[in-house]
Every structure is written in C-alpha cells, then in structure tokens.
Amino acid sequence: MSRATDRIRAVLPINGAAVGATLAGGVLTGLAAAPERFSRLFRHRFPTVAVTGMTGVGKTELVDRLTGRSSSTGTSDVGSAVMERRTRRSSRLLGFRFRVVPGDNAATRLGALDEVFHDEPVDGVIHVVSYGHATPRRAAGTTGAASASREELLTAELEDWTITSHRIASMAVRRDRPIWLVIAVTKTDLYADDLDEAVHYYSPGSGSPFGDKIDALRALAGGAKLSVDVLPVASHATDRKEGITPKRAGAMVDALATRLAQLSGHR
C-alpha cells in the first residue's frame, strides 16, 4: 500500500482539492474495489500541522480542544515525552493531522523537529505561546517544584522561537509551495485584560523582540512564501463576566479551526 500511496501523494497536492483527471481513472477504479484503501487516501489528504512551542505553554491541551478530546488531568507537572499525533475529523472528509512536538529539550524533541520540518515536512505550523505564562516544569530527574518569573519565561519563549523559526525557514526555502504559520496566543484566560497587548507583542512589524524575529523569518523565507496569523485562544475559561467565559474560549478555538481550514484551502 505504501508504494501506491506515495504515488498518489506525489501527484495529488496534499491540500489541493482536485484529483487530476489522468490519475482519477486508474486509481479510483482500484479504490472502488478496496473501500478501506479509499478512506486511507483521504486520510492522507488531510493537511499535516506541526504544533510547536516551549514546554508548559499549552500545546497538548489546545490540540485536545481542536480535536475534541477531553484532556487527561494531571498534566501540570509533567510535559509530553513523545510526539503526539492527533487527527481532527469533520464532515465532508476534511480534517487535519496534528503533530505536537514536545517542548521539553529532550532527545525526543530533536527527533520530532526533524520529522515535522525535514523528513515529512508539514503543510503548516501552529506555534503556541502564552505571554510568559508557561507552566514551569522540572528538568527530568530532579525533584521539587519548578519556578520561574514571567520575564524568565518570556525569555525562554523567545529562545525557543529562535530555534523553531530557523527550522521553519530552512523548510520554507527548500520548497516551492507556500507554507503558513499561525501564532496561537493561548492561556488568555490568565491575562484577559492584556489580550490586545499580547497579540501585538507576537505580531509581525510590531517592533517587539518576538515581532522582530517573525520579520526576520519572513525575510529569510520570502514574504510571499510564508503567511503569518496571530490568533488568541484559551483552553481554560474563567467565570468572570469580563474575562474569558467558556463561551468566549470556545469561540476562539472555533475561530482558530476556521482559519486553519481557510489556510488549507478547505471551505
């Protein structure tokens, strides 16, 4: 099956909707005889999305929200050890395959970065940030609660973004078709009053340390080749009326999903 699939993938742009007429005849006849292969073909058509960001920033929970999974409890002091693979399915066979790169600087992270940006390059990237509200995590093998100030966490986030943006740049220069990047500014329930400042801080052209690095990435990759969106989200909610209510949190996650669909050419 893998040979046939490779051939299909080579001819069929992963996020293109049209099945080439020359391809359709032969392949679809074969598929009619094997319905399970048919569903596999469409699964392979789902765009792949790398989800990156430093440890404790909220990647796993955000992707759980996007894929309708209930998050397992007790994730606060231990981060993800391996790359998580999640699929979002929706009607009309449209969906996404998410690859969540563990944020902790373990060997598994390096392998996961290689996989999503080199070995099986993704169609788009969600880089998750939380305006200095990442949950501090203990280094493996140590005990006691970890702690870090907001400034330290913002600095760590910027360093993490430097590494990831280099990987995105090298992927972008190697390929012809454009790629997209969404900066998902999460945990907004924790800084609802500063939401506009936070979005500005992560925006291209803002003159902030983070914005400057996005500008540098666009210059390196070629502006036309890389689209950048900055979208606020929350995986948790607060009851405060002027805060992030469950309804508002849900609407932000839905808006992110809608944007992903637009970027992937889904309608």
> Under the rule (CB under 6 A), what is the footprint of ligand GTP?
53, 55-61, 75-76, 79-80, 102-104, 135, 137, 186-187, 189-190, 234-236
Residues 45-64 that bind Mg ion (CB under 5 A): 60
Question: Of 53 and 124, which CB lies nearer to ligand GTP in the complex structure?
Answer: 53
Cβ(252)–Cβ(233) below 8 Å: yes
Which listed option, Mg ion, ligand GTP, none, makes contact with residue 5 (CB within 5 to 8 Å by class)?
Answer: none
Provide the minimum distance between the beta carbon of 43 and ligand GTP in the complex, in angstroms, as a whole number.
24
By CB under 5 A, what part of segment 126-185 binds Mg ion? none
Q: Which residue is nearest to ligand GTP (CB)?
A: 79
Question: Shortest gap between Cβ of 64 and ligand GTP (angstroms)?
Answer: 8
Q: In what order do the strands lie in the sheet with 48-52?
A: 84-89, 95-100, 48-52, 124-129, 179-185, 226-232
Q: With CB cut-offs between 5 and 8 Å by kind, which of ligand GTP, Mg ion, none does residue 225 bind?
A: none
Shortest Cβ 200–ligand GTP spacing (Å): 19
User: In the complex with ligand GTP, which residue's Cβ is closer, 19 or 251?
Assistant: 251
Minimum CB separation from ligand GTP for residue 91, in Å?
A: 27
What 3-state class would DSSP assign to 35?
Answer: helix
Q: Which long-range contacts (CB under 8 A, 24 or more apart) does 64-70 make?
A: 64/235, 65/235, 65/253, 66/96, 66/98, 66/253, 66/256, 66/257, 67/98
When the beta carbons of 167 and 187 are compared against ligand GTP, the nearer one is: 187
Residue of 4, 14, 88, 11 lying closest to 38 (CA atoms): 4
> Whose Cβ is closer to ligand GTP: residue 25's or residue 68's?
68
| CA proximity to 31, closest of 60, 58, 65, 5 | 5
Q: How far is the CB of 87 from Mg ion (least distance, A)?
A: 17
Count of residues that interact with Mg ion, criterion CB under 5 A:
2
Write out the two tokens for 5: 């699939």
Binding to Mg ion by residue 80, rule CB under 5 A?
Answer: yes
The item of Mg ion, ligand GTP, none sharing an interface with residue 204, based on CB under 5 to 8 Å by kind, is none
Q: Quick check: helix, strand or coil at residue 240?
A: coil
57 binds, among ligand GTP, Mg ion, none (CB under 5 to 8 A by kind): ligand GTP
Residue 135 interacts with which of Mg ion, ligand GTP, none, CB < 5 to 8 Å by class: ligand GTP
- What is the bridge-based pairing of β-strands 95-100 and 84-89? antiparallel
- Burial of residue 241 (CB within 10 Å: 0-12, 13-18, 19+) is exposed
Q: How far is the CB of 220 from ligand GTP (least distance, A)?
A: 25
Amino acid at 102: P
From the number of C-beta atoms within 10 Å of its C-beta (0-12, 13-18, 19+), residue 233 rates as buried
Q: Both tokens of residue 183? A: 């900066």
Which residues sit at the interface with Mg ion, rule CB under 5 A?
A: 60, 80
